[in-house]
Amino acid sequence: MAAVVEELRDSLTGDVLVEGDREYERSRLCFNLLIDRRPAVIARCIDLDDVAAALAFGQARGLAIAVRGGGHNPAGHCAVDDGLVIDLSRMRDVRVDPEKRIAISQGGATWLDLDAATQAHGLVTPGGVVGSTGVTGLTLGGGIGHLTAQYGLTCDNLFAAELVTPAGEIVRASNDQNSELLWGLRGGGGNFGVVAQAEFRLHPLERVVGGRLEYEGERVATALRLVRELVIDCPRELSIQAQLTTDVSLAPQLVVVPCYTGESEDPEVLRPLRTVPGLVNDGVRRQAFLEQQRIFDPGYGVDRNYWKGHFVAELPDRLIDDLIGRMTALGRPPGGILIESLHGAPKDVDPASAALGYRDAAFNVSAMASWTDPAHDEESIDWARTTASTIEPWSVSGGYANYMQADEPIDRVRAAFGPDSFPRLQALKSRYDPGNVLHRNQNIPPAS
Ligand SMILES: Cc1cc2nc3c(=O)[nH]c(=O)nc-3n(C[C@H](O)[C@H](O)[C@H](O)COP(=O)(O)OP(=O)(O)OC[C@H]3O[C@@H](n4cnc5c(N)ncnc54)[C@H](O)[C@@H]3O)c2cc1C
């Protein structure tokens, strides 16, 4: 292998890591500590040519190939035992054109990279809520965050991309060139090539009214019902997420995170949530958007994670009560249940513009088991699966590809795109990756 790795080193401008190299251990790790894989070689690319060379090398040597952006996918698709990782963590440059209100982001940029670059000009594109998540990886699955109601899904703001196909071809996707591919990149994942550059529309925004509202005890159910009522006809200026957790004594807790971008310093729409009994901490205030982006800030490679959920058409009382009941079912804090509202701008967009099939859903509800002790693996995974089956009766459009584990059956992947989109995605796969070289993802097999 050593001679072969030298050959790769010679053909890259970036660097190559193998077992024993100082940075290998850190670079093989994902966000999810449940994933513990040892790649044969990690190619840290710095440009399109490097990506093409790495793709050619991996195929010529018959290595399984994984693509790594920000390393956050809970399924651990970015790492592969004994294979090749095309690591984009040295491709994180973000260029902003404030006049045109666009950002051009390299394939390995994180949300912190992109937000810092765009906020320097008082601009923003709607992204993920954790700064270390990969911009491209998140966009390829849709993208839900603090500005979804205002500006839509992240992929709705993607207007062009440049990628390297497994055959080494450099392809641009936009409304004018390869528009079917642009459609596929809006939700279809990393199935068609390695995206070296993603281009986003930007919107003016500097400050928001946001932060955490924390509730405890029996009033958690009331607060969650209020969130549900609020989004039915709330203004576009308000995005909202909620997370059920527990304290160590297993008393239920709810964290509601609003993000309001209207004029008011004290938005009337938030008053019911800020006055309801059971509120134990009101951290909502006017703050810079970059502060809002730090509300959820988990450590990288710290916890073991297993996530499973469903998009739902509604959040009925029975489901709310069942979800709260699930928080105590394990006999220890199980992690959380995340509820993301999809009201507002995602519904304005022509559904035919993107490959994803969940735009009509009201909420994305995800059981997110997290734990540290490997002895708890089985029961924590079981907790997430059972909690997801509690949500399933209200399911529409399957689950969220960005939160799926690697063990999801093909039917769930298919359902996430919808029956019309899946064959179209398969046709795109046949065109750009007929050998399914890029299969370490929520995989779309080529049309047979
Ligand atoms: C802590 C945390 C917070 C999150 N927050 C949000 C959130 O707020 N909103 C949301 O919608 N999702 C969120 N996610 C989910 C996240 O968007 C997806 O898991 C996404 O796949 C992560 O992308 P990544 O590049 O960080 O991950 P990686 O594991 O590096 O990549 C995942 C896969 O994406 C593909 N990929 C990544 N980059 C490229 C590229 N340049 N070219 C081609 N394919 C590529 C590859 O198939 C790769 O295997 C979060 C996940 C975590 C762990």
Q: For ligand 1, say whether the CB of 166 is within 6 Å of any of its atoms.
A: no
pLDDT score recorded for residue 233? 82
Instruction: Find the angle CA(414)-CA(362)-CA(137) to the nearest 5 degrees.
Output: 50
pLDDT score recorded for residue 331? 94
pLDDT score recorded for residue 445? 93
Query: How many CA atoms lie within 13 Å of 371's alpha carbon, on the beta-carbon side?
Result: 20
**Distance from the CA of 143 to the center of ligand 1, in angstroms?**
9
Q: What CA–CA distance (Å, rounded) separates 154 from 175?
A: 17
Q: For ligand 1, say whether the CB of 358 is within 6 Å of any of its atoms.
A: no
Q: What CA–CA distance (Å, rounded) separates 110 from 91?
A: 10
Q: Which helix (H) or strand (E) holds 143?
A: none
Nearest CA to ligand 1 atom 44: 190
pLDDT score recorded for residue 15? 96
To test the pocket of ligand 1, the residue of 67, 92, 368 to mutate (highest count of ligand atoms within 8 Å of its CB) is: 67
Q: For ligand 1, say whether the CB of 74 is within 6 Å of any of its atoms.
A: yes
Residue count (the chain): 448
Q: What CA–CA distance (Å, rounded) separates 134 from 73?
A: 9
- The closest-lying atom of ligand 1 relative to the alpha carbon of residue 136 is 38
**Distance from the CA of 402 to the center of ligand 1, in angstroms?**
6
Side chain identity at 72, as an amino acid letter?
H
Q: What CA–CA distance (Å, rounded) separates 406 from 440?
A: 9
Tokens (6 digits) for 230: 């609020």
Cα distances from 192 to residues 18, 390, 441, in angstroms, run 27, 34, 11
Asked if residue 297 lies in contact with residue 110, where contact means CB atoms within 8 angstroms, the answer is: no
Mean pLDDT by 10 residues, the chain (448 residues): 86 96 95 96 97 97 97 96 98 98 98 98 98 97 98 98 98 98 97 98 97 94 95 89 95 97 94 94 97 91 95 96 96 97 96 93 97 97 98 91 92 85 96 97 91
Please state, as a whole number, how many other Cβ atoms lie within 10 Å of the Cβ of residue 273.
20
**Residues pairing with 95 in the sheet:** 104
Is residue 89 classed exposed, middle or buried when 0-12, 13-18 and 19+ CB atoms within 10 A define those classes?
buried
pLDDT score recorded for residue 218? 86
To test the pocket of ligand 1, the residue of 140, 185, 400 to mutate (highest count of ligand atoms within 8 Å of its CB) is: 140
Asked if residue 304 lies in contact with residue 32, where contact means CB atoms within 8 angstroms, the answer is: yes
Nearest CA to 13 out of 55, 61, 54 is that of 54
**Distance from the CA of 138 to the center of ligand 1, in angstroms?**
4
pLDDT score recorded for residue 419? 81
**Distance from the CA of 247 to the center of ligand 1, in angstroms?**
29
DSSP codes of every residue in 68-122: ESSS--TT-TT--TTSEEEE-TT---EEEETTTTEEEEETT-BHHHHHHHHHTTT
Q: What is the pTM of this model?
A: 0.97
**Residues pairing with 103 in the sheet:** 96, 200
**Distance from the CA of 190 to the center of ligand 1, in angstroms?**
10
CA gyration radius, the chain: 21
